[in-house]
Amino acid sequence: MLFVCRAVDEDAVRERIHARVPTPHGAVICRVGDQLLVHVPDDRSVAAEVLAESGLVQRTLADHSDAPLTDRAAAPLGSLVRLGGQATVGGVDFTLIAGPCAVESPEQMAASAELAKAGGAVALRGGAYKPRSSVYSFQGLGEEGLRIMAEAGKRSGLPVVTEVLEPATVDLVAEYADVLQVGTRNAQNFSLLKAVGRAGRPVVLKRGFGCTVGEWLQAAEYVLAAGNPDVVLCERGIRTFEPATRFTLDLGAVAVVKHRSHLPVIVDPSHGTGHRHLVKPMALAAAAVGADGLLVDIHPDPAAALCDADQALDRDRWFDLAGAVRDVLTGLGRGLTLPQGATEPQPETEPAGRAR
């Protein structure tokens, strides 16, 4: 059973439960916005009895999923996740996150940050640790890459999003990054999910390419159950029999998750398709289907990229995508997420024509 209390009563709720329940398994407590969610697996348990008698419960919800903390019924208006500074994901507006697949050099990251911001992105993505299918592929710069990315984020004013691969490096990555990303290959690495849940950073959780929607939400539940409500789900494509695209971008899953969960959902059309000419149409479709934002691979010189060059957008294609997304959002009565006090950015120089 899920008990919904006021967040301001968190100390009182914890005190009452901990006084009567000897183990942490009797209740899982997670603060979501101005609410405190308390999940008790057994509604006949001591924890349930304590809560029922406390007078602190606003409403109760019967369990009808394996991921009750993520359930839409717990927060019907949806969650708003703050990425860092004033950048947010969720709500009415649409969030752009952009950057190169991999951190390569200080110059490349500085140029990428400038490019991302000019196109309207409010967060900078990039990989310092790269999980690659081939052992011979570029694996990232490690901690040096984290330093480079953090400096680019600081200079541009953009919070940085980067992937963490294992529990042992969560604290290190969290020293440099504003947002931790769990990639598709680690979507069911439960030790890692627990660790990022305790790290005190927002989490972008990519869908495993072999995961059902239910398994994806259960993975998010691990992070919330560890005490971290700031989870952004990311649809990045699933593996099917179709070889024309790198993966099959499952935009139907976005609509399903928006119906089933209060967590915001963004889409990665770059990894989902693997081809730059497909990124824009799938980005527009993501906006139309109701996604909360995009995670886009851009690069100041895609031909020189050390990995995933085929899907990276150059300056013109990035500006073209951002402008087209704005057009779709306008038709839907939505806008782009912007830092507080900012006006909607315009590219410094518009491309002569929209790239095809």
For residue 136 the two structure tokens come to 């011979």
Nearest to 315 by CA among 275, 272, 274, 276: 276
Q: What pLDDT shows up at residue 182?
A: 98
Give the predicted TM-score (pTM) of the model. Answer: 0.91
Q: What pLDDT shows up at residue 343?
A: 56
Q: What pLDDT shows up at residue 350?
A: 46
120 vs 318: CA distance, rounded Å: 10
For residue 89 the two structure tokens come to 């994901």
Beta bridge mates, 248: 238
Contact 229, 197 (CB under 8 A): no
272 vs 255: CA distance, rounded Å: 17
Q: What pLDDT shows up at residue 44?
A: 64
Q: What angle do CA 28, 34, 39 make, to 5 degrees?
A: 20
- Walking along the chain (356 residues) 10 residues at a time, the average pLDDT comes out as 86 81 71 88 75 84 88 93 90 96 96 97 94 76 95 96 97 97 97 97 98 98 95 98 96 98 98 97 98 98 92 97 97 85 51 39
Find all residues with CB under 8 Å of 351, minimum gap 6, and list them: 315, 316, 319, 320
Q: What pLDDT shows up at residue 167?
A: 97
